[in-house]
Amino acid sequence: MAEISKIAYVFPGQGSQKAGMGFDLYNSYSSAREIFDETDTALGFPLSHLCFEGPEEELTKTNNVQPAILTTSIACLKAAQEASNDGLPAPAFVAGHSLGEYTALVAANVLSLSNAVILVRERGRLMYEAGLKSPGSMLAIIGLSNESVEDICFHSKTEISNVNCPGQIIVSGAIDALTEAGKLTKMKGARAIPLKVSGAFHSVLMDPVIAEFREVISGFTFQPPKIPIMANVTAKTLTDAESIKEELLKQLRSCIQWQRSVENMVDMGVNTFYEIGPGKVLSGLIKRTNPGLQIFNISGVEDVKQLPQFNPPP
């Protein structure tokens, strides 16, 4: 059996978006154009225009931004493959942060792009509705250990919703609970940064929409992944369709174990990460988790040109 590649593709989540994303790819690579055109057809409206032109306030709506980031990320992947004449090194694993996990499903051929963007648009709608039913938000805590943040959560009635890297943990909860969590964080000498989100994602406050989301997921056909997927919730690999469906349901209301996911991929031999999609958020988290890793970004034409195995587009 041939030795597997020690590369992982990772895909960003909500918050990485910006108006103009993907426009240079659309103009430079036919494969990227096909991705945006397919999404526009699947959704029945020009999502590509929102990606390319904004306005920002419309792009950042939860039900728009989720398919927008997914589409742009897949366009980045396809452009890189086109530019390298399909010479982009194959991954041993794929993974994505929250929403990015759905992009990983497309990369692993679990879902078609058309089905994935329809699914995440519904996911975004339900997450927004959950925020209306059980108002809440999220808070980044910078500079504390997991144990210290657990203590803050216990006393403020909040939950850890993302463990991103050493010293960066996100908590979710009701607004007054997050206010208390912020005070406790400052008392411990650390920083608390409120996030601009429409709800307490990855927490029990998402429970009101879980049953409906289960129904939504049941309407889609999931294929076995062609590449192992590192799961957000368990930080273990997913290799069959049913476990992927359960992961997506749990992910909506459970903590994203991003730091552990990266550590586990490294333990299994990964030493090079390709962050594929808008922004460089995951690259920063990976560097803070393990500074010895090699990381490449693919978020636009210039990134594609700078990768050593690529030729510039004609």
The b-or-e profile of 18-48 (16+ CB within 10 A means b, else e) is ebebbbbbbebbebbbebbebbbebbeeebb
Contact call for residues 171 and 141 (beta carbons, < 8 A): yes
Contact call for residues 64 and 54 (beta carbons, < 8 A): no
Segment holding 298, helix H or strand E: strand 294-298
Which positions are annotated as active-site residues? Answer: 98, 202
Residues 6+ apart with CB under 8 A from 106: 70, 74, 112, 113, 116
**Two tokens, residue 245:** 């469906």
CA atoms within 13 A on the CB side of 14: 26
For 154, counting Cβ atoms within 10 Å of its Cβ (0-12 exposed, 13-18 middle, 19+ buried), the class is exposed
For 59, counting Cβ atoms within 10 Å of its Cβ (0-12 exposed, 13-18 middle, 19+ buried), the class is buried
For 187, counting Cβ atoms within 10 Å of its Cβ (0-12 exposed, 13-18 middle, 19+ buried), the class is exposed
CA distance 182 to 103: 32
